[in-house]
Structure 1
């Protein structure tokens, strides 16, 4: 693994830790600034495109304020460094969340994510996050259950 790949995977893990910890200050540090070449962007599963740093960070503040518990286990992480200043990291987010406030239930889901990072004077920063839900049918759940036995 190259030094750049390790640095990108580290900042990527910090991105998910910031979500889990509802740490908006850290999330703010992780996202790049809008530049002359364009604005940062984010697509949360089921949402429309958010463009611009303030709109993206506002969305994370809303998610963090309304999430009682969330945990990410990342699998199938694949990092590609393009040129020397852009990297694409794809992964599967295996997500465990708590039910509504006061409930003791948990829900699990999968999201395929693409995260684009750019090299800045402050290090690698997130430029684009796109999460797409993986819809699981009853057949998929039965197959997974069979594999566990």
Structure 2
């Protein structure tokens, strides 16, 4: 995970429903805790859009990526239930460094899925 993030005091990460984290050490610690406390988690990315800067003929040095994270997890479920899912919308800012593209900022927010019964819509 450390190889994916810029090593800088200004990096930031906001996990769904959490407060902002600042600095690479805090960001990496949050991912370590998240992964250590989840037996199984998988992310399926959809609706991916990428915009790079600067535009034109110059080589891009910054990328803004938006997507939907479709999250599959087995955490906290009985073996009969197997898996549960959720969705988050995510915006990531990556910068190009000598080692390639790295995260500078990431913000994910949960997507509330509303289920309206037919009786409620009448």
TM range (shorter): 0.7 to 0.9
Q: Does 1:44 align with 2:19?
A: no
Structure number having the greater helix percentage:
1
Q: Residue 117 of structure 1 is aligned with which of 94, 104, 110?
A: 94
The one-character-per-residue Cα deviations of 1:21-74 (angstroms, maximum 9, x if unpaired) are: xxxxxx11001110xxx5100000000000000000000000010011111111
Secondary structure of the equivalent of 2:19?
Answer: coil
Q: Does 1:93 align with 2:49?
A: no
Q: Distance in 1 between matches of 2:40 and 2:19?
A: 24
Structure number having the greater strand percentage:
2
Matched residues, number: 111
Secondary structure of the equivalent of 1:138?
Answer: coil
By how many angstroms is 1:99 displaced?
3.0
The answer for the alignment partner of 1:127 in structure 2 is 104
The answer for the alignment partner of 2:5 in structure 1 is 31
Gaps of 5+ in 1: 1-26, 143-149
The answer for the alignment partner of 2:114 in structure 1 is 137
Secondary structure of the equivalent of 1:100?
Answer: coil
Asked if 1 retains the 8 angstrom alpha-carbon contact of 2:38 and 2:75, the reply is: no
Q: Which has the higher contact order (CA 8 A, sep 6+)?
A: 2
What TM-score comes out, normalization by structure 2 length? 0.85
Asked if 1 retains the 8 angstrom alpha-carbon contact of 2:12 and 2:24, the reply is: yes
Larger Rg: 2
